[in-house]
A = this chain, B = another copy of it.
Amino acid sequence: MRRRLLALSLSLAANSALANEGMWMPSQLPDIARQLRQAGFQGKPGELAGLARPPMNAVVKVGGGTGAFVSGDGLVLTNHHVAFGVVQYNSKPGRDLIQDGYIAADRMAELPANPDYRVLVTTGFDKVTDRILADARGKQGKAYYDAVDAATKAVVAECELDVGYRCSVANMYYGTDFYLVKQLELRDIRLVYAPPNDIGNYGGEVDNFMWPRHTGDFTLLRAYVGRDGKPADHSPDNIPYVPPAHLQVSTRNVKEGDYAMLAGYPGVTFRHRMASEFANQVGWQLPSRVALFDGMIRTIETASADDEDARVRYASQVRSFKNSLKRAQGELDGLRRSDAVAVRREDENAMYGWLERQSDAAAIRADIAAAQAVLDRGVAMRERDQLLGAINGQAQLLRSAITLQRLAHERAKPDAQRESGFQQRDEVLITGQLKQVQRRYSPVVEKALLAHLVAQYQVLPADQHVPEYDALFGTTREQLTARLDALYAGTGLGGEANRLQAMQADAATLGASSDPLLQAAKTLLPAILRLDGESKASAGELLRLRPAYMRALIGFRESQGRAVYPDANSTLRVSYGRIQSMDPRDGIHYTPLTTVQGIVEKHTGVEPFIAPAPLLDAIAKGDFGTTAEPSLKTQTVNFLTNLDTTGGNSGSPVLDAKGRLIGLNFDSNWEAVSASWMFDPRYKRAIHVDMRYMRWLMAKVYPAPHLLREMGLPAE
């Protein structure tokens, strides 16, 4: 069986590259112009390449996701869940915009977002590889890492001299190329139109990751600037931002097989990781992550079984563990279903075969071997690293103590040289965390959790042991129990005032504290700093060595007539494909378009399935007009494409063959949770709001004819 499945996977994986796998940099699109046209694109691929020209300059970063300008007056379309904070910020007792939704009757009624909410318009994307690597060349390990870090900071600082812009350096192909990304930072964002939460988040957590879906996950915002046209903090005097371009919402119908493309800011993927990393991910990381979370959940649940108060305190952490466990299990199931390790290994072997025939094979092979050696060292310490991560990070009070000692340590340096996360600007966040502990901590449960984790650490082979941890916790179960009892019996860090006071102390004062948990953190800190340095040294080596692997991969793909997109890194990318159904399991076929009938079917009157009465009435009335899908004789809601997306693509505009806006990306299907590692065309789908549903809601259910007109759409 294994052989047959493998052959199947390989043939599908090979096909996928010819089909629609890929998160392309816009600049690459002219290189794949033939494929784009074959897929059905009717525009000029060259026009997609320019970040500063339409349509790409209409695509913006919004909150933690993506959005697009949809009018010449700065109207931004994004997901309800991407703009949720803005809706929440404007809700208060007596005005529940989450529940009721919001329609600004005119510009005066548009509500300011929380002050830290941003819309970023990308205006520059320039290769700066030479500047970033100039000092690094010839160096190794941590020195290489530090040189890249310093050059990056310098380039960013120089770029940000241009007031109103935010700059960053994007690493493409794992250290092969570096790009300076320059973005106009719009700071006065306002809420214009949000549907009720029971539409914008219909199905809630239950339907999250699910298809068929029936969610109106969209919201309209507007970006404002100062009267000089430049980014400004919120002011009633500000005027709407005039974007360089905007997208036109389509008034056409869409159907299965239609061409579709999407632009956005996908966060992170691992598609071009080495085969050994796939094997480690599937063979160890994911299963052991499942076991780790499962063990922590059981430990907390057992320790709090008879303590209602403790159960409440740990409810949020347990829920987060359960989500993490579910995600890890889903990713594992998906990668196994796709036989990802074997597929990647086979592909890599073919690449090595090709490499043998190249002139620079020896040098590349040497670098790859050196990179593999770095990865192997990581594998040799993976159990330790996973457990120490949980020990340092998941016990609320111990984590507070470590944070306090680390902060005191970092404060001794100039702010710019402090470790990221411990700089001056991070102190508000740290204060918040230290306060939060009060509601999330019980000494009995924390001791049980640490006992569970450290006991696993204690039985690791000797070469994975760290002297400071052994010294603190002892090396036997008995010592561990006694030490934990002593730590938690004696500490005063359980008191919020004590924690906040300790945050003000310098390293010497904290070092001299007799509090046993602060002493414990002092014991661990040298180990934490040392392991941190080792980790940066590894990162530096991989930054230096991985480009050889990428060079080989790109050359090999070129020999196959295929281009290589860089793994996702939160920069603007384009994916193309089509509206496509899916066969998730034997006997089940998912149609690619859902209809309002599904809203009625799911409606139970119980969260998360409470369709608002105006919506149910409008569906019953059946007055869908021009927004109905003729072939189905009813109103569509969501549709499914085979586009290549990942986290960060929320709110990405979905365009048709002529660049018209037909959908708004908002989720993936559960079967695709493993797509961050491997794109399997059988199972990878993206879920979008059909723009016809948005138009119908805005025309007939919660009407906003003025906004439809602003977008150049029929107002009823």
Interface residue ranges, A against B (CB under 8 Å): 1-4, 211-214, 337, 585-591, 593-595, 597-598, 600-601, 616-617, 619-622
8 shortest interchain CB distances as A-B pairs: A1-B620, A212-B587, A586-B598, A589-B589, A587-B594, A586-B597, A587-B591, A586-B594
6 contacts between A and B (CB under 8 A): A1-B617, A586-B597, A587-B593, A587-B595, A588-B588, A589-B591
Q: In the complex, what's the smallest C-beta–C-beta distance from A623 to chain B, in angstroms?
A: 12
- CB–CB B212/A585 < 8 A: yes
Q: In the complex, A277 Cα to B205 Cα: how many Å?
A: 39
Q: With A1-B617, A2-B620, A620-B2 known to touch, is A585 a contact of B598 (CB < 8 Å)?
A: yes
Q: Shortest distance in angstroms between A690's beta carbon and chain B's nearest beta carbon?
A: 12
- Flag if B585 contacts A588 (CB, 8 Å): no
Cβ-defined contact, B4 with A620, below 8 A = yes
Q: Decide: A588 and B587 in contact? CB cutoff 8 A.
A: no
* Cα–Cα, bound, A337→B597 (Å): 12
Which residue of chain B has the shortest Cβ distance to A591 in the bound complex? B587
Instruction: Judge whether A588 and B586 touch: CB under 8 Å.
Output: no
New A-B pairs, 11, CB < 8 Å, besides A585-B598, A586-B597: A1-B600, A1-B616, A4-B620, A211-B587, A212-B587, A585-B601, A587-B590, A587-B593, A588-B588, A588-B589, A589-B590
B594 near A1 (CB under 8 angstroms)? no
By a CB distance below 8 angstroms, the chain B residues around A594 are: 586-587
Instruction: Please indicate the chain B residues that have their CB under 8 angstroms from the CB of A585 in the complex.
Output: 212, 598, 601
Copies of this chain, how many?
Answer: 2
State how many angstroms separate the Cβ of A451 from the closest Cβ of chain B: 24
Closest B residue, CB atoms, query A3:
B620
Q: For the complex, what is the distance from the CA of A587 to the CA of B629, rounded to whole Å?
A: 14
A399 to chain B, nearest CB (A): 33
Contact residues in B for A616 (Cβ distance below 8 Å): 1
B-chain residues with CB within 8 Å of residue A617 when the two chains form the complex: 1
Q: Which of the residues B2, B3, B212, B586 comes within 8 Å of A586, measured between beta carbons? A: B212
Q: Return chain B residues, CB-CB under 8 Å to A4.
A: 620, 622
Q: Which residues of B contact A622 (CB under 8 A)?
A: 4
CA distance A595 to B600 in the complex (A): 32
Most chain-B CB neighbours within 10 Å: which of A1, A587, A622? Answer: A587
Docked pose: A622 CA to B601 CA in angstroms? 40
Give every chain B residue within 8 A of A3 (Cβ-Cβ): 620
A379 to B581 Cα, complex, angstroms:
50
CA distance A597 to B585 in the complex (A): 9
Residue of B nearest to A593 (CB): B587
Question: In the bound complex, how far is the Cα of B588 from the Cα of A163, in angstroms?
Answer: 52
Inter-subunit contact B619/A1 (CB<8 Å): yes
- Measured in the bound complex, the distance between the Cα atoms of B586 and A619 in whole Å is 14
In the assembled complex, the CB of A621 is this many whole angstroms from the nearest CB of chain B, namely: 8
Contacts of A600 in B (CB 8 A): 1
User: What is the minimal beta-carbon distance from A256 to any residue of chain B, in angstroms?
Assistant: 12
B595–A586 CB distance below 8 A: yes
Q: How far is the CA of A27 from the CA of B620 in the complex (A)?
A: 45
CA–CA, A594 to B583, complex, Å?
12
Give the CA-CA distance A620 to B3 in the complex, in Å.
8
Q: How far is the CB of A203 from chain B (nearest CB, A)?
A: 12
A209 to chain B, nearest CB (A): 15
> Separation in Å of the A314 CB from the closest CB of chain B?
19
Q: How far is the CB of A22 from chain B (nearest CB, A)?
A: 27
Per the bound structure, the CA–CA distance linking A594 and B588 in Å amounts to 9
Q: Are B590 and A598 in contact (CB under 8 A)?
A: no
Chain B neighbourhood of A587, CB < 8 A = 211-213, 590-591, 593-595, 598
Name the residue on B nearest A211 (C-beta).
B587
A591 CB to closest chain B CB (Å) equals: 5
Q: Which residue of B lies closest to A333 (CB)?
A: B604
Tell me the minimal C-beta distance from A294 to chain B in angstroms. Answer: 14
Closest to A619 in B: B1
List, in ascending order, chain B residues with CB within 8 A of A619's CB: 1
Distance between A680 CB and nearest chain B CB, rounded to angstroms: 14
Closest to A632 in B: B586
How far is A244 from B131 in the complex, measured between Cα atoms in Å?
A: 94
**Complex formed: what's the CA distance from A617 to B622 in Å?**
53
- Distance in angstroms from A541 CB to nearest chain B CB is 39
Nearest-Cβ distance from residue A11 to partner chain B, whole angstroms: 15
Q: Are B588 and A591 in contact (CB under 8 A)?
A: yes
Provide the residues of chain B in CB contact with A213, threshold 8 Å. Answer: 587
Q: What's the nearest-Cβ distance from chain B to residue A16, in Å?
A: 20
A586 and B611 CA atoms in complex are apart in Å by: 16
Tell me the bound Cα distance from A4 to B620 in angstroms.
Answer: 7
Enumerate chain B residues within 8 angstroms of A586, measured Cβ to Cβ.
212, 214, 594-595, 597-598, 601
Measured CB to CB, the nearest residue on chain B to A592 is: B587
Query: Smallest Cβ distance from A580 to chain B, in angstroms?
Result: 13
With both beta carbons as reference points, the residue of chain B lying nearest to A214 in the complex is identified as B586
State the CA gap A589–B591 with chains docked (Å).
Answer: 7
Nearest CB in chain B: distance from A5 CB, A: 8
Q: Quote the shortest CB–CB distance from A511 to chain B (angstroms).
A: 47
Complex formed: what's the CA distance from A620 to B337 in Å? Answer: 15
What's the Cα separation between A617 and B619 when bound, in Å?
A: 51
- In the bound assembly, the distance between CA atoms of A588 and B600 in angstroms comes to 15
